[in-house]
Structure 1
Amino acid sequence: MRTSIPCPSCEEALTIEHFEDFSTPFTMKCPHCRAKLKETKMTPLLLLIAVIAIPLLVYLGIAVQSFLAGYFPIIEKVPTIFVFLAFCYPIYALYEAFNAVVIFNKGNLQLKKRQ
């Protein structure tokens, strides 16, 4: 497994930590030269995984809220997003780390063309 890949613009090393810091695969910028990057090989697969994972994560948040409401009735009045962030965020963090690993290991980075 490789430890870094070069930026297509400045040739500085990009590590897995840099990929974990990107908010989405569509808004990647080199932390060294600030060049906008795009990934062309794995993004369709990640979009397909997101279409499957997001409803599952929503269902998980609702299920956790329903479970906790049986023990703590006040939880019914709390918005589901807060329950999800409090109890299910580690699962979401693993999903984001998986995305970073896939893009880092299998992705094809290119410079984004200016429009």
Structure 2
Amino acid sequence: MDPFISCPQCTNPITVKDVMHFSSPWTMKCPYCDVKLKETRITPFLLLAAAGIVPLFLFLTVQIKAFAAAYWPVVEHVPTIIVFLVTLYPIYWMYERANAIILCKKGRFQVKKKE
């Protein structure tokens, strides 16, 4: 069973799958009661990790494109984002899943106060 964290408002479980569907760490909403949530315990560390992972993915994508272009010259004309999606997206998905699992295991959601 996937780890989950309870919503502080309605106490329904927010699973890893729900966390992966959040568009960003700043726009989290409970899938059951639609209350806006914030998480400040783990999110800063995950954002620091992302600051290191994103340049790594960019570097790897350019290297893969250069390597593939040596064998198939048509690859030079393919947008870099397509090369990323074809080659590294499964690794990115596993990275996002690991972030969601960490957030569910060690995070603590709080109801976001109205501003």
User: Would you say same fold, with TM above 0.5?
Assistant: yes
Considering only aligned residues, what root-mean-square deviation do their CA atoms show, in Å?
A: 1.4
How many residue pairs match? The answer is 115
SS in 1 for 2:99: helix
Does 2:37 align with 1:10?
A: no
Distance 2:97 2:15 in 1: 13
**Cα deviation digits, residues 4-47 of structure 1 (max 9, x gap):** 32211111111122112212222111000111111110011011
Does 2:39 align with 1:46?
A: no
Corresponding position of 1:79: 79
Corresponding position of 1:107: 107
Distance 2:2 2:52 in 1: 28
**Cα deviation digits, residues 58-106 of structure 1 (max 9, x gap):** 0011111111101110110111111101111001101111110111111
Taking structure 1 as reference, are residues 73 and 2 closer, same or farther at Cα in structure 2, changes over 3 Å only?
closer
SS in 1 for 2:31: coil
Greater displacement, 74-83 / 15-24: 15-24
Q: Tell me, yes or no, if the aligned pair for 2:5 and 2:105 is still in contact at 8 Å.
A: no
- TM superposition score normalised by structure 1: 0.93
Q: Tell me, yes or no, if the aligned pair for 2:5 and 2:13 is still in contact at 8 Å.
A: yes
Distance 2:90 2:2 in 1: 25
Distance 2:44 2:13 in 1: 25
Distance 2:54 2:41 in 1: 21
Q: Tell me, yes or no, if the aligned pair for 1:20 and 1:96 is still in contact at 8 Å.
A: yes
SS in 2 for 1:110: strand
- TM superposition score normalised by structure 2: 0.93
Percent of pairs identical after alignment? Answer: 47
